[in-house]
Structure 1
Amino acid sequence: MTDSPHILITGSTRGIGAAIVEALTGRAARVVGHGRTDGADAVGADLAEAGAADRLWERALERLDGRIDVLVNNAGVFEPIAVDAPADEWQAAWGRTLQINLQASADLCRRAVLHWRERSVAGAERGGRIVNVASRAAYRGDSPAHWHYAASKAGMVAMTKSIARGYAAEGILAFAVCPGFTMTGMAEDYLSSRGGDKLLADIPLGRVAAPQEVASTVAYLALEAPPSMTGAVLDINGASYVR
């Protein structure tokens, strides 16, 4: 990888994403983030819309002078839908969650693979890195109101492994991290609504993860992890689920 990698991070305006930006900025990297609206260091895109991921890639590529070396897929939603909800609401909730959490990530991974292949053909530096932020739910499942969330994150893990196996010979590396509860606004709301003490009792460490803990792991995978680690999925869940 180049000494000064160009990095695109989705969902970077708060929580884990903001911590990832902080962890990577200043480490010999140019970083472009992503949010719902444009900002000085972020490209605006609503990933719930079909085609938005491709538009995000093009605009980020322009900001990064035509080169992206690392893609971090962090954007996601965690929205409940009851099993007895009306069918149209149920299907809309599944469609939205899978579109944002999985399809948009897949679209960006596809663009990254094609970009790195094009650069290799042109004689530029070979390969690049993808880091997908999945979830403990990919392996453990989630609440009765979050089947779709768990399914989307399991899809991210399977996609990561497929990319790692399919493109390692081309220098294209893929990793995933699977956080459990992380102290962001989303987790705080969930903890308060579901009974925080009871949930914390299920975490041997006795607390949820800090965003910085997840971010430091993402930064390691993005910049330092040896190529032989490609395909690795790292857990950050306080031993609440041990594989």
Structure 2
Amino acid sequence: MQRNILITGASRGIGAAIAEALAHQNHRIIALSSSDGDLGDPDVPPRLWADSLDRLDGRIDVLINNAGVFEANPIGSDGAEWLASWNRTLQINLTAAAALCRLAVLHWQETGLPGRIVNIASRAAYRGDSPAHWHYAASKAGMVAMTKTIARAHAKEDILAFAICPGFTMTGMADEYMASRGGDKLLADIPLGRVAMPGEVAEMARWCATDAPPSMTGTVLDINGASYVR
């Protein structure tokens, strides 16, 4: 069945791989990137939703929230600077995703259509992250909790929600982080011996978006080479 799918953060890395995996199944896809609007601006998510809905003839079946930032925020920074960085990360990684999830749920309630949400979170939601990335870990933990809440609240309406928690993935963002913290040491912490590839995460997202059984709603899936098991 062809679905209308909205993906954020789809210009590269995991998001681009997800878009490619779904395109191979001939779904109609809106693949958004930062060039379409800054999710750090609270006014942008509603505009992007409305524009995408219009481009997809008034129906969105699947929302995939992948957009995010991973920016260092040392605790020794100036207080106002630290808070501004915290708020920016929470706005982009969590609040913008929440705004889009809300609009998706309202859309499916108003139309009576089934819908699926796939939120790309992080291993950091459970394991935490570096001392300079409190905000990133908090934003991803919030995304997981939000996903579970949506699933519990709306399963009876055939609105399903899944979260995927990658560890290090072979993207530009991870490359920079690994280089700054000693790549060999980080790889030694991954029993598989390598980081995940974007296509591996994309396959999980594709499956959740299209084929995962409804009884799986609320599930959080890990993909981290056994570097964190729970």
TM-score (norm 2): 0.99
| CA distance, structure 2, for counterparts of residue 84 and residue 48 of structure 1 | 23
| CA distance, structure 2, for counterparts of residue 50 and residue 108 of structure 1 | 11
**Which of 73, 76, 98 is matched with 2:65 structurally?**
73
Aligned to 1:40: none
**Which of 95, 119, 128 is matched with 1:132 structurally?**
119
* Equivalent position SS for 2:91: helix
| CA distance, structure 1, for counterparts of residue 87 and residue 222 of structure 2 | 27
Question: 1:1-243, aligned counterparts within 5 Å?
Answer: 3-37=1-35, 44-120=36-112, 126-243=113-230
Count the aligned residue pairs.
Answer: 230
Shift of 1:127: 1.6
| CA distance, structure 2, for counterparts of residue 65 and residue 20 of structure 1 | 22
Per-residue CA deviation, residues 51-101 of structure 1 (Å, 9 max, x unaligned), is 211111001111111100000000000001111111011100100000000
| CA distance, structure 1, for counterparts of residue 42 and residue 217 of structure 2 | 29
Shift of 1:28: 3.3
- Identity, % of aligned pairs? 67
Runs of 4+ in 1 over 2 A off after TM superposition: none
* Equivalent position SS for 2:212: coil
Shift of 1:50: 1.1
| CA distance, structure 2, for counterparts of residue 193 and residue 150 of structure 1 | 18
CA RMSD of aligned residues (A): 0.6
Amino acid at match of 1:98: L
Instruction: Point out where structure 2 has 5 or more consecutive residues left out of the alignment.
Output: none
